[in-house]
Amino acid sequence: MLPLHSGPPQPGTHLSHRGSAQPARRARNVTIPSTLQTAVAVFMLFALLVALAYRAVGSDIQVAPASSRRLLRDSSFSRARKFPVSNLSTLILVAGHSVYTGLDYHDAQGSSSWYLLDYQKEVKGQTESFMAHIRLGVEQAAADPKSVLLFSGGKTRASAGPRAEAEGYWLVAEANDWFGFPEVRRRAFTEEKARDSFENLLFGLCRYYELTGHHPTHVTVVGYEFKKARFQDMHRAAVRYPATSFSYVGTPALTPSAVDGEAAAAAAFRTDPYGCSGALAAKRAERDPFAEGGYGPDRCPAMAGLLNWCGPDPFPGRLPWALRR
């Protein structure tokens, strides 16, 4: 039997499975706080920007090899930083003969302040001669305002510890206020790898390039007078430095035996000008107890061939100072 009032369901009702009208269920509204909505929107925008940026440049991002990173780091330095005294043109080279082991650089004349070999301990005035070389080098540099003063000598004695001959000479000059020429200080440097007299000159030329960016127009070596021929006639000739641009300033020999010993040393270099074999090579190895090694070709590109040359014939390649003649 039908109800008395039949017809379509009224709005807001629905028919149940039994056909009777029931109130409609309302959907539940969930409200998201506005601050959270803002945060989500910002995050999504940021993620989108990052994705777009990576897509644009990601393929170009590479890790530079170590050599490139080193090159970029070096190029960040100005020329003035890389070559601190590029305005100078000549070289005063003081060859070291001993390692300073004292603590007081003001008292450098005492024999206990230097590492001396047995034969040196018996020579009167030995340590004073080291002081004389330091002072003479400073005076030569003071007389030539365009010069670099370079103390040369490596860490040659194991018992003295890892101290370079050149470093001790520089510090003695400093302690003595540069012997009345304090202006020389800004032009005074060290070369701390040389293990013999040939390397004093060879590495001195290389170190000069590192300081100035060019090669010296004149070289003056300071040492003992009895070594003049060795430096001037042998070492200079081995590196083919122009004789007209080379000088030697020496102090007197302290004993006749020093002159006699020089004859044997000169004879060894006469047959092996670059000191690469035999007794000279063995002595060089003995004077490198801390395995410092020498200068590599990368330090002075224009000298690369000479630094690797062992003779016995003279080095035949191009040299920067030989091109000036």
Q: What is the pLDDT of residues 65-115, one digit of tens each?
A: 444 444 444 444 444 458 999 999 999 999 999 999 999 999 898 888 999
Amino acid at 19: G
What's the CA gap between 4 and 9, in Å, rounded? 14
- From residue 72, alpha-carbon distances to 60, 69, 75, 83, 151 in Å are 18, 5, 5, 17, 31
Q: Longest C-alpha distance within the chain, in Å?
A: 150
Distance CA 155, CA 303 (A): 23
Q: How many helices (H) and strands (E) does the chain have?
A: 12, 7
- Please give the pLDDT value at position 29: 53
Q: Where are the domains of the chain?
A: 82-324
> Do 187 and 148 touch, CB atoms closer than 8 A?
yes
- What is the distance in angstroms between the CA of the first residue and the CA of the last residue of the chain? 133
Fill in the DSSP letter of residue 255: S
Please name the residue that has the structure tokens 């959907």: 27
- Residue 280 pLDDT: 97
Is it the case that residue 169 has pLDDT exceeding 60? Answer: yes
d(CA 20, CA 5): 12
What is the pLDDT confidence band of residue 57, given thresholds at 50, 70 and 90? Answer: very low
Which 8-state DSSP code applies to residue 231?
Answer: I
Tell me how crowded residue 222 is: count the other CB atoms within 10 A of its CB. 27
Residue 67's pLDDT is: 43
Decide which of 150 and 67 is more confident: 150
Euclidean distance between CA atoms 163 and 96, whole angstroms: 12
Half-sphere exposure of 125 (CA within 13 A, CB side): 8
Q: Mean pLDDT over residues 207-212, rounded?
A: 97
Residue among 291, 264, 289 at smallest CA distance from 279: 264
Give 180's contacts (C-beta < 8 A, 6+ positions apart).
Answer: none
Give phi and psi for 198, each to the nearest 5.
-65, -45
Say which DSSP state 55 is in.
H
Looking at every residue in the chain, the average pLDDT score rounds to: 85
**Separation in Å, CA 140 to CA 30, 114, 212, 287:** 93, 24, 19, 28
3-state secondary structure of 94: strand
Give the C-alpha separation, 305 to 206, whole Å.
Answer: 12
> pLDDT category, 54, cuts 50, 70, 90?
low
Q: Are strands 21-23 and 13-15 parallel, antiparallel or unpaired?
A: antiparallel
| Amino acid present at 209 | Y
Q: In whole angstroms, what is the distance from residue 123 CA to residue 131 CA?
A: 15
Topology (CATH level 3) of domain 82-324: Rossmann fold (3.40.50)
Helix (H, G, I), strand (E, B) or coil at 300: coil
Among the ranges given (32-46, 77-91, 131-145, 299-313), the one the predictor scored with the smallest mean pLDDT: 32-46
Instruction: Find out whether 302 and 319 touch, Cβ atoms under 8 Å.
Output: yes
User: Assign residue 158 a region: left if phi > 0, alpha if psi is -120 to 50, beta otherwise?
Assistant: alpha
Dump the DSSP string for 150-198.
EEE-----GGG-S--HHHHHHHHHHHTGGGG-GGGGGGEEEE----SHH
At residue 79, the pLDDT reads 46
Cα 172 to Cα 175: distance, rounded to the nearest angstrom: 5
Residue 111: the pLDDT is 83
